[in-house]
Amino acid sequence: MVQKKLILGSRIPEMLLYDPEEGYGFVFPDGTVRDEEKRDSLPGEYSVPPVPSFILDVPDGNYKVCINASMTGDKMDLAIRTGPGHLNRRIVQAEREECFAVHVCDEKLKIAFIGNQPFSGSLEITSAPEVPTLFLAGDSTVTDQSSSQLPFCGWGQMLPFYLPEDVAVSNHAMSGRSSKSFIEEGRLERIWNRIRENDFLFIQFGHNDEKDNEGGTMPFSTYQDYLRIYIEGARKRGAFPVLISPMHRRLFDEQGNIINTHGDYLAAMEELSLKEKVPYIDLAGKSKTLYEKLGEEETKKLFMWADPGDYAKYPEGIQDNTHFQESGALEIAKLVAEGMKEHKLEPFFQL
């Protein structure tokens, strides 16, 4: 059983630089261009400027992490990120313990402390094989966007922020994938190799199913057929499938109402959820309500909209009505968490 407690001061001493023989320590950003497919981004790279990431070599599995900050200051704001940019907690009060679960799949538990002052306090890591894992299957709106794509952000990266401390997240969503191509590329098989009894499989597809290409599907036939593979596979392994409709794109009509660009795919998923008796989180409906409440101008702050010069990566600016920056991904993750609570899904019913 892995159990380790460290006391970290406000300065990172030489002895705490990562040592492969010791199996833990801090790694400093080196400017490497990270890859979404490899999930090789460090959590400290999801910051401008980037910060060091603490790495602990551990066997694959789930771990409980408890952090107690002893920092001082009236305006303390410390974001805790793990793995490829998952936002787990924000700490705004010293001497208060915050705990959360982390799923490790590359034998390295990675943590970054991103805030307005250097972190000092205690860090306790304990193996937690009893903790269930929430697996995510989806597209670019869900995926762990690589740090090289900042400020793009998928809602799967933000979901841990809203979860209780006894649930870990394993995000397998990948940009450009449909319910069909995700399976054909062997990505669902990777989930089957890891998923256990009493785990969860959250499924959100639609944006790429609608496309007229090899990954495309038809709403009331092949789309439902492929989704059924996810549902039956999860149940066969004793896990719990949950269907999530794709959120709407940022497209308003002249009256300020959201235009449905997903056609019959929304109705097809809801119909399948009723037939298969699967929990259905209506993220399309929830996002429609959110966008229309904010309005056409304010919703730009959720999506990847930026003026020329806002981001070095996009010198001419960007206008993307499908993908989110962090504030938008946080809002969408919050809607997903609300859906969990509405369905009284254990262990989420107390969210």
Which residues are known catalytic residues?
Answer: 140, 316, 323
Contact, 292 vs 109, CB < 8 A? no
Contact, 173 vs 142, CB < 8 A? yes
162: which DSSP letter? Answer: G
Map tokens 């940019």 to a residue. Answer: 85
Contact, 341 vs 349, CB < 8 A? yes
208: which DSSP letter? Answer: T
Please tell me whether residue 45 adopts helix, strand or coil conformation.
helix
Size of the chain, expressed as the number of residues it contains = 351
Please state, in angstroms and rounded to a whole number, the distance separating the CA atoms of residues 297 and 309: 19
Backbone CA torsion sign across 177, 44, 298, 307: negative
Q: 341-350: long-range contacts at Cβ-Cβ below 8 A with a sequence spacing of 24 or more?
A: 342/281, 343/242, 343/279, 343/281, 345/200, 345/240, 345/242, 345/279, 347/132, 347/164, 347/166, 347/167, 348/163, 348/164, 348/167, 350/164
Please state, in angstroms and rounded to a whole number, the distance separating the CA atoms of residues 260 and 285: 10
Map tokens 């401008």 to a residue. Answer: 48
SS3 letters for 7-36? EECCCCCHHHECECCCCEEEECCCCCCCCC
